[in-house]
Amino acid sequence: MDAWEAQLREHLPALERFVKFRVSNLHDAEDIVQETCAAAAQNRQTLRSPDAFKGWLLAIARNKCRDYYRKKAADPEISFSSLPCPPRGRGVSSREDSPVLSTLRRLRAQDRQMLFLFYFQEWPQARIADRLGIPLGTVKSRLHYARESFRKMYPYPPSAKGAKNMTKMPDSLPPYAISPSPLPPFSVRWEEMMGWFIVPRLGEKLTWAMYDFPEKKRAEQCAMEVVGRAQVHGIEGVEICALETDPMECNSAGGQAEVSRRFVAQLTDTHCRILAESHMENGVNHFYTFLDGGDFLNSWGFGENNCGNEVNLAPKGDITRTGSQVEAKNKPFLLDIVGRYSVTIGGKTYDTVCVMDIETYDEGMATEQYLDSNGRTVLWRRFNRADWRQDRYQKPWTELLPDNERITVNGQTYVHWYDCITDYIL
């Protein structure tokens, strides 16, 4: 094996992650990986420096992905039924109710066409000019006026203050009760970013807070807002600002009382995933992306090949629950609906399904997440196995929190630690 082949083998995992994040069809993605390797071999003389190998290889892959979508692209007729569904929350009940699509319908046909080609088809301005047979300057002018028209008609303009525009969460967790329902659990579309509760769509924002038990006093609070479109390694997503105040130790980025993070996240028809995260620590801005492998997966990734969490949830039988007794299959990325419950909190009652995950991020932890029919979190609860991080905390959790609720997972005791709620229920 020569040095060039050794480099190709070294960077092959990054190439596969890059392509599979960009092309959802696994068979097509594998074909593109092979085509990229073949093209790289044929054009190896164009590589000017071995140090640039990874960027050079991914540039080839990016062009192959573009070629793939060019071949699949149909004529740009605007079909609203083919566009992504809006989030089903806060009164949004169907695609027809989406404020984005409603605003598009009210625009002039010319403005609607420009926005559709540029934002939904993601065509560059030069391609729009070529396809429509008009000068590039005309495209720029029409796009400018189309944006202005949309901005004036859109009912929810973005906040200029970003995530600092924070809702004040209660100092104490509102009393709540959880009751099993005799009805079968329902399927739900869950579009939230796992562990952060926000839906990665333009216009979304929320505040959530963490409450320690048994005191039920507010600890960490986090305000989040989607602030614009973004790309990471050519993958399209949205940028999210997050401002954490009084974060728990593992989130404090070196002991800071206030931590500002930026995420790039992507919502597809099947998954919601984080593409990148950045934060400041000890005067250094740290960046992590999905190409960083284990360093990224351990904190921000989820699922096979960092595919993200599923958004179309239905009971699978991977996790079953009877009262406080839980049985879970021996497989990675365990997340399943385990039942239907009425959750009464803050004087309101919600019909929910309970989604449990077992050791998805860390060995020895389990969570309960109660989702309503809109796919929004009503209540999130964290449990630790009795021996979780015992080398750090010196005692088992059964002794650290002796009065807290317990569940049993595959015969082992887990102790309730803290809860989270969002301003969705306020």
The model's confidence at residue 3, banded by pLDDT at 50, 70 and 90, is confident
The model's confidence at residue 283, banded by pLDDT at 50, 70 and 90, is confident
Nearest to 270 by CA among 306, 314, 296, 308: 308
The pLDDT value given to residue 360: 80
Q: At what angle do helices 136-153 and 99-106 cross, to 10 degrees?
A: 120
Q: Say how far apart CA 29 and CA 64 lie, in whole Å.
A: 10
The model's confidence at residue 109, banded by pLDDT at 50, 70 and 90, is confident
DSSP 217: B
**Which CATH number does 176-425 carry?**
2.40.360
Q: Is pLDDT above 60 for 192? A: yes
Of 117 and 192, more confident: 192
The pLDDT value given to residue 38: 92
Distance, first Cα to last Cα, the chain: 62
Runs of H (alpha helix) within 49-156: 53-72, 99-106, 109-115, 125-132, 136-153
Q: Is pLDDT above 90 for 388? A: yes
Q: Is pLDDT above 90 for 132? A: no
3-72 domain in CATH 1.10.1740?
yes
The model's confidence at residue 407, banded by pLDDT at 50, 70 and 90, is very high
Q: Say how far apart CA 116 and CA 83 lie, in whole Å.
A: 10
Q: Is pLDDT above 80 for 256? A: no
Q: Which fold has domain 85-153?
A: Arc Repressor Mutant, subunit A (1.10.10)
pLDDT digits (tens, 9 = 90+) for 143-174: 888 888 888 887 655 544 445 556 689 999 99
The model's confidence at residue 94, banded by pLDDT at 50, 70 and 90, is very low
142-156, 360-374, 383-397: the lowest-pLDDT one: 142-156
422 touches 342 (CB < 8 A): no
DSSP 376: -
Q: Is pLDDT above 80 for 314? A: yes
Mean pLDDT of 354-371: 91
Neighbouring residues of 345: CB distance < 8 A, sequence distance ≥ 6: 174, 175, 176, 177, 378, 379, 421, 425
Helix, strand, coil: what percent of the chain each, to 5? 35, 30, 35
Judged by DSSP in three states, 221 sits in strand
Q: Say how far apart CA 140 and CA 128 lie, in whole Å.
A: 10
Of 400 and 26, more confident: 400
Q: Is pLDDT above 80 for 130? A: no
Q: Say how far apart CA 208 and CA 221 lie, in whole Å.
A: 6
CATH 2.40.360 positions along the chain are: 176-425
Q: 3-state secondary structure string, 145-200? A: HHHHHHHHHCCCCCCCCHHHCCCCCCCECCCEEEEECCCCCCCEECCCCCCCCCCC
Place of tokens 């351990």: 298
The pLDDT value given to residue 166: 61
Q: Say how far apart CA 268 and CA 274 lie, in whole Å.
A: 12
Mean pLDDT of 175-190: 96
Mean pLDDT of 162-187: 86
The pLDDT value given to residue 73: 46
Residues of the chain with pLDDT > 70: what percent? 86
16-30, 149-163, 371-385: the lowest-pLDDT one: 149-163
CATH 1.10.10.10 positions along the chain are: 85-153
Stated length of the chain: 426
The model's confidence at residue 253, banded by pLDDT at 50, 70 and 90, is low
The model's confidence at residue 383, banded by pLDDT at 50, 70 and 90, is very high
Place of tokens 């969002």: 422
CATH 1.10.1740 positions along the chain are: 3-72
The model's confidence at residue 359, banded by pLDDT at 50, 70 and 90, is confident
